[in-house]
Amino acid sequence: MLVGLSDEQLQERARLKSEREALPASMIATGYQHTLARTDAGTVLSAGSNEFGQCNTTEWTDIVAVAAGAYHSVGLRTDGTVVATGSNEFGQCNVKKWQDIAAIYAGAYNTVGITKSGQLLNTGYQTWNTLAWRDIATLSIGDYALCGVMENGQPLSTRDELVTSDYYDLVSFDAATANSAGLKADGTVVSNGLNVSTQSSILAIDCTPNGIYALDDGGRVHAVAFSYAHLPDVSDWTNIVAISASATHVVGVTADGRVLARGESKAGQCDTQEWMLFTPAPTATPEPSATPEP
């Protein structure tokens, strides 16, 4: 228990935690010019550039998580093995021997996996020194940095400049090239370069080179851009349960399983209009009240 928090604050933190855990995990991912999404049937849909084969996912089955690098795609299977397709210039797709994987992450030119025993595996361009990392709750990969959050809410980063003194009590931590953002347990957001003080009741974040996106507990997505940059306007999106963004496009999954996309789509990375990832559970119909016999 944190010292100094009121019962109301503790209850709010518990509520947000419960809502975060209810969100679909690793359901969508965005690369430089492609988009991935896993369905509840374990298949993977892809759209956008296939220059390096990053969209060759039609034969993937039993997938429970997807991740996207700049030009490669990764999928985690139910049996803990990993599949990858696309550019392998730096060995980022060398995952055939991985086993007992619990989670996967992809950066521009890297793929990272965490085994069920907590071991961190890494393949690709960057050789990160993470031997001292322990008690990892979650990870994310920026363009050239590996970031994470420990079980105690403290940040982990292979680049010190991505962390400020405000980075504590975190539940997630994401980075782009030189900017980063952290989501705290109380639903507020911190950043090493953006004014995000107005964000509250946030369930998920995604950091891009041009700013950040934040998903709130009402299913709305907030975009906060640097003064010199532009982010696609998603203020009209509603009932969103998952988000992912690249430098130029953003994707959201709705509560009824549709996929919305906005931004640059020169390679077709926003052509997700026909996608349906899952069928929402039917709403229970109330039983009619019994009419007393005369």
36 found inside a domain = yes
As a whole number of angstroms, the longest Cα–Cα distance in the chain is 81
21 found inside a domain = yes
291 found inside a domain = no
Question: What confidence score (pLDDT) does residue 214 get?
Answer: 98
**What amino acid occupies position 225?**
A
Neighbours of 294 (CB within 10 A): 3
Which structure tokens are listed for 166?
């405000």
CATH label of the domain that carries residue 214: 2.130.10.30
Could you list the beta-strand ranges (E) of 201-284: 202-208, 211-216, 221-225, 240-245, 249-254, 259-263
276 found inside a domain = no
**Mean pLDDT for the stretch of residues 147-157:** 97
Which structure tokens are listed for 176?
């782009």
289 found inside a domain = no
Structural domain boundaries, residue 74: 7-263
Q: How far apart are CA 114 and CA 126, in angstroms?
A: 16
pLDDT tens digits for range 247-276 = 999 999 999 999 999 999 999 999 999 999
- List Cβ neighbours of 72 (8 Å cut-off, separation of 6 or more): 31, 52, 54, 84, 85, 86, 87, 88, 92, 93, 106, 111
Neighbours of 18 (CB within 10 A): 9
pLDDT band at 280 (very low <50, low <70, confident <90, very high): confident
Contact 252, 259 (CB under 8 A): yes
* Domain total in the chain: 1
293 found inside a domain = no
144 found inside a domain = yes
Mean pLDDT check: name the lowest of 39-43, 90-94, 112-116, 129-133. Answer: 129-133
